[in-house]
Amino acid sequence: MKAILVREFGGPEVLKLEDVPTPKPAAGQALVRIHAAGVNPYDTYMRAGAYAQKPKLPYTPGSDGAGVIDAVGEGVKKVKPGDRVYTAQTLSGAYAEYTLVLEEHVHSLPATIDFRQGAGIWVPYGTAYHALYHAANAHASETVLVHGASGGVGSAAVQIAHAMGLTVFGTAGTPKGLELAKREGAHQVFDHRKAGYQEEILRATGNRGVDIILEMLANVNLPHDTKLLANHGRVIVIGNRGEVTINPRELMARRASIRAFTLWGITPTEEADVHAGLIAGLENGTLRPVVGKELPLAEAARAHKEILEPGAAGKVVLIC
């Protein structure tokens, strides 16, 4: 089969398309014929060797894929050959024509969701769902600011929060991203490249502040976020690319908090919650993964370069 291999940590150019043996599922595993693989920012940090988890070299990147079950190992009951599925973590990497997955990490893909969309479920929607339900304990009567609403996690968060009944504010850095955030359910949108946009957000709440901020770039925004919160507000740190200084007094005055997580630390109970909620939302049409860019598997290096550039518009996926 064809697969992307990383033989050394480095820039996007270390992602090489190679011919490798097709794996065989052992007991408790399924082999999935991957039709599309989701590209997530963490894939780029891992490839650079800069992520907390360092895979053993060589490795094939990718946790998020969608396709059809090709074969199952002994004892597998949840899926059978021919089933349409999405993956949430893989054993052998999703940037490939076939990938091995533990039975518990493969989930039924609703008939209305195509493979390209299915490649954008686990990390973006799982993160957005976990952030709103588990980390923020969001309530329908609250206001959420999705700080970075044009990308994979942000567009998912806008759809989920809208469906939960929250008042949703979203930010983006381009007209296309602002349009996307509005279309996917943000009640008001703000340009995070425009000077003074934070004051516009505060005014839009009648100077009360927002209850929840889902933060995609904490190292840039956290000091301002603490001033945008309402009493008992919560910032949920999802994305961060550096260090930052804040004034804790802003939190004290509001009895506010900053919470943070990585999706990898999710408990089995939370994970079951996430998939049940997401599959229901995908089936009833409230959740509709937005594919912004699709590239052939061979262009994984280009995908890794472009996902870190400004101007997000939904998910970047590789067609395998």
Strands 229-237 and 210-215: parallel
CB of 77 to ligand NAP, least distance (A): 29
**Kind and range of the H or E element at 143?**
strand 143-147
The answer to whether 319 touches 296, Cβ cutoff 8 Å, is yes
Q: Which of residues 247-306 bind ligand NAP (CB under 6 A)?
A: 261-263
Out of 62, 67, 124, 185, point to the residue binding ligand NAP (CB under 6 A): 124
Candidates 65, 93, 148, 289: give the one binding ligand NAP (CB under 6 A).
148
Q: Of 27-35, 103-111, 166-174, 204-212, which segment contacts ligand NAP by CB under 6 A?
A: 166-174
The token pair that represents 231 in the structure block: 């009493």
φ/ψ of 4, rounded to 5, equals: -85, 130
Taking the complex as a whole, the smallest distance from the CB of residue 190 to ligand NAP amounts, in Å, to 10
Residue 65's nearest CA partner among 47, 41, 91, 89 is 89
Token digits of residue 34: 């991957």
CA atoms within 13 A on the CB side of 319: 7
Applying CB under 6 A, the span of 17-25, 57-65, 135-143, 150-158 interacting with ligand NAP comes to 150-158
Under the criterion CB under 6 A, does residue 153 sit at the interface with ligand NAP?
yes
Q: Which of 166, 218 has the CB closer to ligand NAP?
A: 218
Number of Cβ within 10 Å of residue 288's Cβ equals: 15
Question: Does the protein bind ligand NAP through residue 135 (CB under 6 A)?
Answer: no
- Can you name the residues that pair with 189 across neighbouring β-strands? 170
Give the whole-angstrom CA distance, residue 315 versus residue 252: 37
Q: Which stretch binds ligand NAP (CB under 6 A): 29-37, 101-109, 172-180, 197-205?
A: 172-180
Least CB distance to ligand NAP at residue 71 (A): 30
Task: In whole angstroms, give the CA distance from residue 103 to residue 115.
Answer: 19
From the list 16-24, 159-167, 170-178, 278-286, the region that binds ligand NAP by CB under 6 A is 170-178
Q: Which of 171, 225, 228, 279 binds ligand NAP (CB under 6 A)?
A: 171
How many angstroms separate the Cα of 95 from the Cα of each of 32, 110, 163? Answer: 12, 22, 31
Question: Which positions ≥6 away from 59 have C-beta within 8 Å?
Answer: 5, 6, 93
Closest residue to ligand NAP using C-beta atoms: 151
CA nearest to 289, candidates 279, 298, 274, 302: 279
- Taking residues 206 to 225 in sequence order and writing x for each that binds ligand NAP by CB under 6 A, - otherwise, the string is ----------xx--xx----
Tell me how many residues contact ligand NAP (CB under 6 A): 33
76 versus 186: smaller Cβ distance to ligand NAP: 186
Q: Check binding of 123 to ligand NAP (CB under 6 A).
A: yes
Q: Which residues bind ligand NAP (CB under 6 A)?
A: 40-42, 123-124, 127, 147-154, 171-174, 177, 192, 216-217, 220-221, 238-239, 261-263, 307, 310-312
